[in-house]
Structure 1
Amino acid sequence: MDAQSKFTFFLLKLVDAKKLASKTLLHPKRSKQFKFPHRLKKYLHEQFLVHRRNVVTFASNAATSSKHIVFLHGGGYTVEVQNGHWWLVEQLVKKSANKLSFIDYPLAPEHNYLHAHAMLTEAYTQLCQKHPNDIFYLLGDSAGGGFCLAFAQNLRDTHFAPQPEKIALLSPWLDLSMCNPAIAEMEPLDLLLSTKTLLSCANWFANGLDLKSPVLSPLYGTMNDLKSVAAFVGSHELFLPDCRLLKQKLESSNTPLFYKEYSGMQHDFILFPIKARHTLLNDVLAYFG
């Protein structure tokens, strides 16, 4: 781990980032209106509403590819898109010839998984109709990663729209029940996430549904017949044990897998202004091709 990352993570420990993150997750703030950074306006390709939520597609002037990334942000299903997510969107648009559509899906506690899945289903369907020649990929970090995989499993089972050709999961939250006993060993290492806090967020989003239902926790879903899955995870995060279980399940399926762990890295480190996030970004770009 480089010195910059060590210093950044030292600061996280110093300010008790886990306590701050729990407060943010449990008492999420809401913007009066949806907006994205001004610097992204030059990439704006189209914008429309689905269930009164925004779907925004970005593309650079050099966008010549038929590849189309659909991005679902993380935040424990409660927190709105953060600056780090917009950095990731900008980099993916600038450094590839692909389109990227950001889905502003409904969040808990005001909404639950039914609202989120209904909005995403309609948004994805409309994107497929608007861009019939595009090849779709899914990308999500943290909760957005778990959401991507659960949605892809649903697409496979229902056949209502084309399956994504590739699914990239960054530090994905795969099991909302947090029942893996190995998670307890990771709790002291993860400077951001708290099992207790995540369970509160999970129950808001689930609205009474069993937390082990695959629509919430895709780790319990069938892994066969997905086109391709990549999982990227830090070695110092609560979700590492479940990511390793995902790896085992995918290796036992007929779905191609790319898997990588990053030594010493914290949860969702692509959102932090450290050199290591560029390594992960390049790995994602390489996976999407």
Structure 2
Amino acid sequence: MSKRWQQIVKKKSKYLVTALAAALVGIPLVTKRSWSSRITRFFIPKYTTKPILEDPRLFAVLKRFLLAKGSIPFRTPRSRYIHYSLDIFKGNLELTIYPGLKLKRQGELSRADTAENEKTIGESVTATRNPAAPLLYIHGGGYVEQPTEYHYRFLWRLATALKRPVKLFVYPEVPDEVAVDVISKTSEWLEAQERSIVLGDSSGGGLIMSVMQVTQYEPLALVLISPWLDVSMTNPDIVLNESHDATLSRAGLLEIAKLYAGDLDLSDPLVSPINYPFKKLPKMAIYIGTNDMFLADVRKFAHLIKTVTPALHYVEAPYMEHVYPILPTIEGEAAVRDIIRYTKEIFYT
């Protein structure tokens, strides 16, 4: 390449770098959201259930599959850096994610003092029981989907930051069991645990509030992330956000809700806890994005319970998607740090 062309390329490169820097700084300022969330927003619809929920033909195929084959199979975490144990609780799975352990190679713990009572399940390695009460988590997925890798990474972050295990209850999914059975089994699982903080996202958050109607378990606090609180979705303001939500569609979720409710009416408080007259609730934190289709119901629920909980920590993140705290974005990371701060305050004050 001649010197003249080198000078042209060098000069153009400066303009290109300047334009790129301006875009990286300017576009997030104009759009009020980070680059990471914009990228995530672009890819989410392509790799989530929204296309299935939106398209009646695709959803009909999914519904036939579920009714013929039963629930979607459970998959264990695929990351070799997430260490866990799997146990059976009355026929259902309990997955415990352990904090802060690193593998020298597969199957070998890097800390000798954790070798006692270790247990290996498949390729996973777990350590001695942590004496601190574990966090308890109930996952989302519209009552039909199993926990995702996003859930596992999110729970690993919590376990490592709080230096305590996180127990994840993998409750029976639709269509294997309906709401009455799911709520009963989740309540039994909770009542078998130490008193701790209970977290849940989406349908898991709604399930927590359903269980709170029937259980004797008294959590230290509840953390709800984009909870699905009204499966009938009759709030007229829902449609205002449906086009902005990258993962949810009202029509498909209503069909799932009918399968989940079984013989119950969709407005029954057991499946739509927003309709239950709670008299007393523990401390609670709620996280929701303004692009979330459940925003209208979550706002209504927060207003209803503010007089029956000793403290409500409500976070509404502008332009964020459904269950944004578990997504790999700058805003999601900020929410994770806030959840860690909140749970630490509950545990240590």
TM-score range, shorter-chain basis?
0.7 to 0.9
* Correspondence for 1:172: 227
Percent of paired sites with the same residue: 25
- Where does structure 1 lack aligned partners over 5 or more consecutive residues? 129-134
Deviations 1:169-188, CA, capped at 9 Å, x for gaps: 00110101100010011111
Larger Rg: 2
Task: Return the TM-score normalized by structure 2.
Answer: 0.72
C-alpha separation between the residues in 2 aligned to 1:3 and 1:254? Answer: 36
* Residue 242 of structure 2 is aligned to residue 187 of structure 1: yes
Secondary structure of the corresponding residue to residue 56 of structure 1 = strand
C-alpha separation between the residues in 1 aligned to 2:336 and 2:163? Answer: 15
Secondary structure of the corresponding residue to residue 103 of structure 1 = strand
* Residue 118 of structure 2 is aligned to residue 58 of structure 1: no
Contact 1:50 1:119 in 2 (8 A): no
Contact 1:93 1:99 in 2 (8 A): yes
How do 1:1-289 and structure 2 match up within 5 A? 1-12=33-44, 18-20=50-52, 26=63, 30-31=72-73, 35-37=76-78, 39=80, 42-44=83-85, 47-60=86-99, 66-128=132-194, 135-155=195-215, 159=216, 162-289=217-344
Which residue identity is paired with 2:41? F
C-alpha separation between the residues in 2 aligned to 1:200 and 1:235? Answer: 24
Task: Return the TM-score normalized by structure 1.
Answer: 0.86
CA RMSD of aligned residues (A): 2.5
Distance of aligned partners of 1:13 and 1:203 in 2 relative to their CA distance in 1, 3 Å threshold: closer
Deviates more, 1:193-202 or 1:209-218: 209-218
C-alpha separation between the residues in 2 aligned to 1:287 and 1:82? Answer: 24
* Correspondence for 2:115: none
C-alpha separation between the residues in 2 aligned to 1:117 and 1:219? Answer: 15
Deviation at 1:287, TM superposition (A): 1.5
Secondary structure of the corresponding residue to residue 213 of structure 2 = helix
Secondary structure of the corresponding residue to residue 184 of structure 1 = helix
- Where does structure 2 lack aligned partners over 5 or more consecutive residues? 1-32, 102-128, 345-349
C-alpha separation between the residues in 1 aligned to 2:223 and 2:45? Answer: 29
Distance of aligned partners of 1:175 and 1:266 in 2 relative to their CA distance in 1, 3 Å threshold: same
Deviation at 1:214, TM superposition (A): 1.6
Deviation at 1:92, TM superposition (A): 0.9
C-alpha separation between the residues in 2 aligned to 1:21 and 1:40? Answer: 33
Residues matched between the structures, number = 275
Secondary structure of the corresponding residue to residue 70 of structure 1 = strand
Deviation at 1:21, TM superposition (A): 5.5
Distance of aligned partners of 1:121 and 1:30 in 2 relative to their CA distance in 1, 3 Å threshold: same
Secondary structure of the corresponding residue to residue 151 of structure 2 = helix
Contact 1:84 1:270 in 2 (8 A): no
